[in-house]
Amino acid sequence: MGTTERCRVCLKHKPLSQMKKRADSLNGVATICKPCAREGEYFRVHGVERPKDLTLVFKLIAGVKHKRCPTCSEYKTYDNFHKSEVCQKGVGTNCVVCKAALRKQERLKNGARIRQLSRAWVENNYEKNKLGDKLRGEKYRASGKHKITRKRWAENNPDIMELNRQKGVLRSRHGVATISERYARSILGARSFMKGSEFPQEVVKTQQELMKIRRFIKENIV
């Protein structure tokens, strides 16, 4: 039994790991590769007829490689598509503009369901997600990129830096600045599975007082 299989769509011989699985076949794979199957699923779901000739999808225009977006039907260069390891030529099915529009439509149509699934995933993978955030943060800080980014931002925004400096002077003169209710609710929402607007007023006031205490300790003691 060979280690490769010929895809019936792109007509290329590929390793079995790149072919779509099929339990009832002799070698455990189908006669279509994963990239072709992925793009075929898109055409089926969106009711678009899949081009039988791949030369209608990929073209060389003025010596530059182009791909046809099935949504807007325009030929665009590869840099107008997201990179993808599972699609043909290593580029996504839709162009960046169309993909963003499709995602927006999906959010408007199924926004509530998506939020519910997202919250459920966070609840079921809280420790894993927390550990991942910690590791990514440590890697980012170890690279030193945050210092370069912060310095570059300060150089490009001198007006905002001066305004923040003046606010700091006012805080030091008149004590701890007031923590707005909106800011307190945003912090509560970021650290829980509820929206900031869903918290009772008593909880928000408690959060405001805690943040005032922490800021006072940070500015005057630590």
One-letter-per-residue 3-state SS of the chain: CCCEEECCCCCCEEEHHHEEECCCCCCCEEEEEHHHHHHHHHHHHCCCCCCCCHHHCEEEECCEEEEECCCCCCEEEHHHEEECCCCHHHEEEEEHHHHHHHHHHHHHHHHHHHHHHHHHHHHHCHHHHHHHHHHHHHHHHHHCHHHHHHHHHHHHCHHHHHHHHHHHHHHHHHCCCCCCHHHHHHHHHHCCCCCHHHCCHHHHHHHHHHHHHHHHHHHHCC
State the Cα–Cα distance between residues 145 and 91, nearest whole angstrom.
28
State the Cα–Cα distance between residues 177 and 11, nearest whole angstrom.
68
Nearest CA-CA partner of 19 in 7, 8, 1? 7
Q: Domain-by-domain residue ranges, the chain?
A: 1-50, 59-111, 159-222
Q: What is the pLDDT of residue 54?
A: 55
CATH topology of domain 1-50: Wheat Germ Agglutinin (Isolectin 2); domain 1 (3.30.60)
**What average pLDDT does the chain have?**
78
CATH topology of domain 59-111: Wheat Germ Agglutinin (Isolectin 2); domain 1 (3.30.60)
pLDDT band, very low/low/confident/very high, at 168 (cuts 50, 70, 90): low
* 204: pLDDT strictly greater than 60: yes
pLDDT band, very low/low/confident/very high, at 48 (cuts 50, 70, 90): low
Structure tokens at 70: 């099935």
pLDDT band, very low/low/confident/very high, at 105 (cuts 50, 70, 90): confident
Structure tokens at 94: 């839709």
Domains 1-50 and 59-111 share a fold: yes
